[in-house]
Structure 1
């Protein structure tokens, strides 16, 4: 499998190269040169397989030439061995045609574990083969950071630096990052919002001398390996609901567009997903775009669902590239104009084509609390503030009686204040995190300044 940049000026790479590079050298995002596709019979064969076996078979075409299916299977078995549920991704029916796909049974209680537990093994495998060391830098709005740190802590060929917005994650999210006492982990709390953190990461990659000196890599969803590792759970859920003979819809609470892009990728591979619901909080750039062709940057407002407090959805560039007919020059121009003006111009026919497949949905904080209470009262289901937005969207949007797979992206115990406000109970953390509030925190506070951040990363790299 070969990969091309959405902006067309970076060299093609294989899967191992994309894994280690993260962001393309031209500032674009890597995409498969063509989408692998499963026949109906091949999809039926996957039905009923244990999740690690299904995941290995779904990811194998993307890794072809770099990692064998047998190696992938061994890594998948290791990645998901300690998940709290033997099903790995339980599918729970809440209402007629409404299902919660629980993606939060990994070590950090969020869907990011589904990809990053595997990506950690992939990094170790490829780096050992090459005899190299990388320095991962990433930005997080809450969950990616802890999942990435959990995946690579104490791995000898990897250093990791995670930037999070100071004071803008939940306490559980912050502590899951800052209480990991591993020699290869640096946490930086940035005075700003998630977009500031993400801009700093992209700026480090754009600084070619620094990128080369540090041998930078990424674990954010800008890294296509993350997307590839998220596709299998949509395949798993759809097959359990009758695919490929039966069409389905998906509803995904999203800020950075990576999780729902993985569902769309599953469709390109042959899965009959006919509707994609993009569920947003008050930071609704995606919902506005889908409803009105208004992709304009607004100030990010803190909400009860902080992982979705994002003003610019990085992975949308991948979808735009596809709907522009893979015209890399036009994609690059569109993104450059967006960067300079804060408003994306998408021609009406292209916008209509996207809006035909994708539907937006927005929920306020007040409505989020009401929906947490409603699902708890009517379905005996306790959903965190992110998951409940996806559930409400799946219930409220017209999907023509299709079964709707709603991505339940985080354990309710990660957001105890919101849950307590909604239903009057404070969900306890699982046993392996029961002492989280007593653990020592370690992080460095910094301004949203590239020179300052690069100095911290360089000093950490040269600490020995």
Structure 2
């Protein structure tokens, strides 16, 4: 399988190179040249498979040119055996036909573990094979950083630098990153917001001369295709558990960077019956404003109780735009260059094509807290603020009550105690045993100005062989 850029000018690459490259040389994102497609009969035959075996069925077509089947199976078995629930992604029923899929049973209590615990193993495998060293540079709005560090901290051929917005992630999120010890782990708190961090990462990938030609950058953000690939699997898992593929499913996805919901879009294109995808956002609602009114416009980023979605530049949205424009890279490039200058829209027929599958909603902090309290009073089930936004959006946007509605539960509520307190509940979510001493562990991070040259200078001085 070959991978092509959403901007049409970079060379097509194989899986190994896409894994290590992250952003394409033309500034675009890599996507498969073509997708595998599974028949309903084939999907039906996967019922009852363990999660790691289902993951193999869904993902192997993307990597088969680079990794032997037995090696990939071993990686998947090792990755998902580290999750705290036998089913890996269990479903919890909220109402007669309404569900939450718990994607926070991995080691860092967030859905990012599904991809990043695998990504570390993929990187180790490819880098050992190539006898190559890379520097991981990533930006996090809270959860990607800890999952990336946990997934990559044992990698022998990697130095990892994670940028997070200073004082704009929860304390649990920060401590999960900054208390992991290792000479190859570097946490940078940038005096800015997530979009500033993400911009620095993108610009650094575009010009890596600050590394002096001694190494290259690798991506852990969802611009890396391997991240998207791993997230496709749990859409199949949820569907098969609730009667799919013989009935269609609807999903509500709390999303800021559009990667998790784009994986659902791909699952549908690969043959899984999905009738609706709900984009659930907070006050930083650029995706909702586009999907509801065909207007893509960046506004001032606001700090909310759901910080992992405090994002205004949704990188993976470019991958959907590429499809909506008939995979015309030049058209996507032109559109995004104009979007950097002011509001843009796409042709009405393209927007209406997207609306056939997608709905959207924006949920403010008060409604988020109301939802947390309401669901707890109804079910004694505690939602984190991001999942609460997903549940509220699902209820506001649902098209057909006979179709199972599954909200992706993206994080453990213990990561966001402020939102639980704000909701008025007296219950206090507890960290699991392996994190019980989190607040006693020593932290280690560096605060830097919101300045690209300063951040790049720090990287160039602190990677292993600098």
Q: Normalising by the residue count of structure 2, what TM-score does the alignment of the two structures yield?
A: 0.98
Give the distance between the partners of 2:36 and 2:373, measured in 1 at CA: 42
Tell me if 1:449 matches 2:432: no
Residue 246 of structure 2 aligns with which residue? 245
Tell me if 1:167 matches 2:167: yes
Moved more, 423-432 or 209-218: 209-218
Contact 2:184 2:464 in 1 (8 A): no
Residue 63 of structure 2 aligns with which residue? 63
Deviation at 1:386, TM superposition (A): 0.3
Residue 438 of structure 1 aligns with which residue? 440
Greater than 6 Å deviation, 4+ residue runs = none
Q: Trace 1:66-85 onto structure 2 (pairs within 5 A).
A: 66-85=66-85
Aligned with 1:10: secondary structure? coil
When residues 3 and 370 of structure 1 are mapped into structure 2, their CA distance, relative to the original with a 3 A threshold, is same
Deviation at 1:373, TM superposition (A): 0.4
Residue 224 of structure 2 aligns with which residue? 223
Contact 1:101 1:406 in 2 (8 A): yes
Contact 1:98 1:395 in 2 (8 A): no
Contact 1:276 1:357 in 2 (8 A): yes
Deviation at 1:213, TM superposition (A): 4.0
Residue 460 of structure 1 aligns with which residue? 462
Tell me if 1:283 matches 2:284: yes
Aligned with 1:343: secondary structure? coil
Superposed CA deviations along residues 344-363 of structure 1, whole A, max 9, x for unmatched, are 33121111111221111111
Q: Trace 1:396-411 onto structure 2 (pairs within 5 A).
A: 396-401=396-401, 402-411=403-412
Deviation at 1:93, TM superposition (A): 1.2
Superposed CA deviations along residues 409-437 of structure 1, whole A, max 9, x for unmatched, are 00000011211232122211111111111
Contact 2:414 2:430 in 1 (8 A): yes
Give the distance between the partners of 1:248 and 1:400, measured in 2 at CA: 10
Deviation at 1:395, TM superposition (A): 2.2
Give the distance between the partners of 2:427 and 2:200, measured in 1 at CA: 38
Moved more, 352-361 or 432-441: 352-361
Residue 139 of structure 1 aligns with which residue? 139
Contact 1:47 1:239 in 2 (8 A): yes
Q: Trace 1:7-406 onto structure 2 (pairs within 5 A).
A: 7-210=7-210, 212-339=213-340, 341-401=341-401, 402-406=403-407
Contact 1:23 1:222 in 2 (8 A): yes
Contact 2:133 2:215 in 1 (8 A): no
Superposed CA deviations along residues 235-259 of structure 1, whole A, max 9, x for unmatched, are 1101111111101111000000000
Contact 2:277 2:357 in 1 (8 A): yes
Aligned with 2:156: secondary structure? coil
Give the distance between the partners of 2:362 and 2:464, measured in 1 at CA: 45
Contact 2:280 2:362 in 1 (8 A): yes
Give the distance between the partners of 1:59 and 1:158, measured in 2 at CA: 24
Moved more, 192-201 or 86-95: 86-95
Moved more, 85-94 or 187-196: 85-94
Contact 1:214 1:458 in 2 (8 A): no
Tell me if 1:418 matches 2:425: no
Aligned with 2:356: secondary structure? helix
Q: Normalising by the residue count of structure 1, what TM-score does the alignment of the two structures yield?
A: 0.98
Tell me if 1:2 matches 2:15: no
User: Number of matched residues?
Assistant: 463
Deviation at 1:68, TM superposition (A): 2.6
